[in-house]
Structure 1
Amino acid sequence: MNSRSVRRTCVSLVAAGAALAGVAACGSGSGSGSAAPAKEQHKAGSDFSPVAALQAVQKKTDGAGSSKVEVTMSMGTTMGLQGAGDLAWGGGMTGTMRMKYTQGTMAQTMKQIGAESIDARYLRDAYFANMGPTFAQSVGGKHWIRYGYDDMAKLMGPSGAVMKDQMQNSTPQQGVKMLLASGDVKKVGTEDVRGVQATHYSGTVDIAKLVGSSSGLDAKTLDAFKAQMTQSGISTDTVDIWVDKDDLLVKKTERAATKNGELNTTAFYSDYGVKVAVEAPPAADTLDFTTLIKPKTPTQQQG
């Protein structure tokens, strides 16, 4: 594998790995978002509004602390992937996921390097991707790539700063918070989700306004991010969530148009409170992605 392929793969994984983790977030996680205690709102009468109900869901889901997650994601002809694992939140997202690239140009690239499936570990300051033995042979025998959130923010500019905020503040209840911030939430009805009776809520979110209202980022960074979102062709995000009788999120879907095609994600959540244990891979078996994306100097190319 040549150095250009290595760099292209590493940069692609910045977006792909973060996007999968972002299924637990998708809205920036810094804001609080409740006008009144969710418990009080939830007891406001038999005809309480969807907003009051979702405030209870936000509190209960956030307080659960961890869950098992299954997710599928597609974006036009660029990417299709599936993932499953355990994630914990509170003080920064941590956890593990197994990801498989199923379609699109990303899947073709990953197949070429023998890494159609990868294991990911999420820590509070970085996530790690195990690229497998074929990739390791081309980078000195090391299997893991480290993606530091601070480095990702620098590499990706304003949108990277927002991504860093998402990665460090991810919880499933961010989907609930998105609907609360949208001002457009409605109750659809009751449906079966994998054998569980769940209440379905839906709404359309103005992404730029959501980021501005819920993140702690400065105005300059936010303005630049909104410009990048506009260039990507994303203006709104349709969010649907399903909630069980215990006020816990069991399913979420999102749909948004981008220049690379329609972005669709579906996530299922279960086993809230599951124990999550994760640690960084051995340093001797890990490379930092910033060292891999640097172009070779003329001397290195000759060697």
Structure 2
Amino acid sequence: MVALAVVAGVAGCQDEDGGAKTAGASATARPATQSPEEAAKAVRAAYAKASAAKGAKVEMRLNVGGEKAPGGSTFTGVQAWGPTAADLKVFDSSYLADIPGAPVETRVVTADGATYVDLGTALAAQTGGKRWLKVETGGAAGGDELMLQLTGGLTVASMDLPKELGLLAGSSAVRHLGPGTRGDFEGAQGYGGELPGGKRVEVWIGADGYPMQMVVHTETPGGGAMTSLTTKYSDYGAKAAFQAPPAGDTVAFVDLLKSLGRG
């Protein structure tokens, strides 16, 4: 169930070299050609465009390294921001593969301040027929290491594109990484910077001014894990239902842990 919680965390959110090489440039491979002021201006313009679009189609890859809950999952679907919402398919997930009875792929929905994971038929049989695991983004219990770990994962992976762009644009460390030179990133410009909380952000902005890809690397509190989230964006303005499942068909994460403890 911890694995399911980690899977759920991304809905609300590759390694560093992989993201940089895909785009065709990196901070070390190519000297910056724009000043920090010009870089901040470009990121602010992308922030305005993304904010106005309110959502987009996404393809996300979450990788978690370290001793606590290492693994990875891929997500595709639609994500919205302001308010945060998502409707995503989850697959290629080491977390799902490690759970007996879990489906090979499943659905994650974020709506009304919570994230819901479709448990599938086999796991729902262990929850009294309730098919959806509900994870509150602010549901950590004080001093509970497991829940603190869960909340840290949600904070890292519940990605809000305009928020990340705004933080990057306002950072004194924002820098131009250079132009993209290969594939879909040809003609794009890369920008990156260090943000508070052990976070590093890299974004590639297309010729139309919209972000094409963002990579966020975050070290969880206490240095227990390094989370890397690569998100590719397309079809800005895409819509989805973003409807939370009926309350009677959901089981809360904390309640499920208590039930498992008794059993």
TM-score by length of 2: 0.75
Aligned mates of 1:142, 1:162 — CA distance in 2 = 24
* CA RMSD, Structure 1 to Structure 2 (Å): 3.2
> Which digits, 9 at most, give the CA deviation of each residue in 1:58-108, with x for residues without a partner?
111111111001111111261111101101222x212201112533xx344
Instruction: Indicate conservation of the 8 Å contact 2:111/2:242, yes or no.
Output: yes
SS of 2:227's partner is strand
Deviation at 1:143, TM superposition (A): 1.5
More helix by share: 1
- Partner residue of 2:188 out of 198, 204, 213: 198
- What is the identity percentage for the equivalent residue pairs of Structure 1 and Structure 2? 23
Structure 1, unaligned runs of 5 or more:
1-8, 23-45, 208-235
Which residue in 2 is equivalent to 1:59?
Answer: 48
Tell which deviates more after alignment, 152-161 or 284-293: 152-161
- Higher RCO (C-alpha under 8 Å, 6+ residues apart): 2
Deviation at 1:262, TM superposition (A): 3.7
The yes-or-no answer on 1:271 pairing with 2:249 is: no
Instruction: Indicate conservation of the 8 Å contact 1:182/1:206, yes or no.
Output: no
CA spacing shift, 1:193–1:67, aligned 2, 3 Å: farther
Instruction: Indicate conservation of the 8 Å contact 2:58/2:231, yes or no.
Output: yes
Aligned mates of 2:87, 2:247 — CA distance in 1 = 18
Which residue in 2 is equivalent to 1:17?
Answer: 8
Matches for 1:72-91 after TM superposition, within 5 Å? 72-76=61-65, 78-90=70-82
Which residue in 1 is equivalent to 2:57?
Answer: 68
Matches for 1:1-303 after TM superposition, within 5 Å? 9=1, 11-22=2-13, 49-76=38-65, 78-90=70-82, 92-103=83-94, 106-110=95-99, 112-152=100-140, 156=147, 160=151, 163=154, 167=158, 171-191=160-180, 192=182, 194=184, 197-207=187-197, 236-257=198-219, 259-294=223-258
Deviation at 1:257, TM superposition (A): 4.6
Aligned mates of 1:280, 1:195 — CA distance in 2 = 35
The code of the aligned residue for 1:73 comes to L
TM-score by length of 1: 0.66
The code of the aligned residue for 2:165 comes to V
CA spacing shift, 1:261–1:283, aligned 2, 3 Å: closer
